[in-house]
């Protein structure tokens, strides 16, 4: 069964450093998302991406964040200058959307645990 | 925006039935999802409701009342492996259909 993959599974970085989190969405899906979950808290929406541009973004997704689909398969989240409060699990998700045969639920990747020291 | 409420914790006995409630106030609505999340893992899809009524899927059922802004997830014949967090998520009626999640209900199944 196709699945969303994410690398790395765990990233440790120093405050102020740039990180890039990588995702490979399911191949025939059209919409891609990034969510984050701080330990013990709820899943929070960051950004959605469709047709090579941002569709929506939350207040969390400020100028320090950017997303890119550099090729036909990868979808990346970049944090330019990490802060301690960026420590969280980051989930990538994708959905076919508009497929009448499915619920168009979001399929989540396994997550990248980001630790900022 | 969205406001989603669900109980923080619930405990139930193996073999029993448990109902996890979710209430929501939304500015837009295009369906409600229930996800299961084990500690340290990604949410996995359980059910989806967009019309009022009950959807049954094996041991899991989900109910929606749009007029009341209310949903529940019913788990039957509980097993120890059902111990997890259960997330209620409302999909907004935007182009990309992003979901807003509740805080989750941590269910502990005891022998």
Q: Give tens-digit pLDDT for A18-54.
A: 999 999 999 888 889 999 999 999 999 999 998 889 9
Neighbours of B15 (CB within 10 A): 11
pLDDT tens, residue by residue, A82-111: 999 999 999 999 988 665 555 678 899 999
- B98 interaction partners in chain A (CB closer than 8 Å): 33, 45, 48, 56
Distances from the Cα of B72 to the Cαs of A9, B7, B34, B53, B91, in angstroms? Answer: 33, 11, 9, 11, 16
Cα B85-A12-B42 angle, rounded to 5 deg: 20
Q: pLDDT at position B10, please?
A: 98
**Distance from C-alpha of B1 to C-alpha of A8, rounded to nearest angstrom:** 32
Nearest to A106, CA basis, from B37, B53, B18, B74: B37
Contacts with A31 from chain B: Cβ below 8 Å:
96-97
DSSP B33: E
Distance in angstroms (rounded) separating the CA atoms of residues B85 and B108: 9
Q: According to the model, what pLDDT value does residue A51 have? A: 86
Residue B38 phi, psi (nearest 5): -85, 155
Which pLDDT tens digit goes with each residue over B86-99? 999 998 877 667 88
Q: Best interface-test mutation with A: which of B98, B99, B105 has the largest number of A CBs within 10 A? A: B98
Taking alpha carbons only, the member of B42, B104, B108 closest to residue A36 is B42
Q: What is the mean pLDDT of residues A57-67?
A: 95
Contact between A96 and A102 (Cβ < 8 Å): yes
Q: Are strands B18-26 and B70-75 parallel, antiparallel or unpaired?
A: antiparallel
Q: What is the pLDDT of residues B58-67, one digit of tens each?
A: 999 999 999 9
- Residues B26-56 have pLDDT tens digits of 878 889 999 999 998 999 999 999 999 999 9
Beta bridge partners of B108: B11
**Looking at chain A, which residue has its C-alpha nearest residue B5?**
A42
CA–CA gap between residue A86 and residue B1 (Å, rounded): 23
Q: How many whole angstroms separate alpha carbon B102 and alpha carbon B77?
A: 25
């Amino acid at each position: 069964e196709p699945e969303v993959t994410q690398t790395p599974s765990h990233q440790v970085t120093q405050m102020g450093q740039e990180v890039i989190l990588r995702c490979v969405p399911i191949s025939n899906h059209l919409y891609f998302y990034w969510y984050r979950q701080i330990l013990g808290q709820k899943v929070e929406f960051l950004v959605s991406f469709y047709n090579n541009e941002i569709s929506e973004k939350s207040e969390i997704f400020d100028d320090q964040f950017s997303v890119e689909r550099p090729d036909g398969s990868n979808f990346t989240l970049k944090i330019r200058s990490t802060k301690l409060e960026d420590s969280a699990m980051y989930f990538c998700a994708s959905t076919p959307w508009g497929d009448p045969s499915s619920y168009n639920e979001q399929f989540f990747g396994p997550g990248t645990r980001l630790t900022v020291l | 925006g969205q406001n989603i409420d669900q109980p923080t914790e619930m405990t139930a006995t193996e073999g029993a039935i448990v109902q996890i409630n979710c209430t929501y106030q939304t500015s837009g609505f295009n369906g409600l999802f229930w996800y299961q999340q084990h500690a340290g893992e990604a949410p996995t899809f359980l059910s989806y409701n967009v019309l009022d009524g009950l959807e049954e899927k094996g041991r899991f059922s989900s109910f929606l009342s749009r007029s009341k802004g209310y949903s529940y997830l019913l788990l039957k014949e509980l097993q120890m492996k059902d111990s997890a967090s259960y997330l209620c998520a409302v999909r907004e009626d935007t182009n990309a259909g992003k979901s807003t999640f509740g805080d989750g209900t941590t269910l502990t199944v005891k022998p």
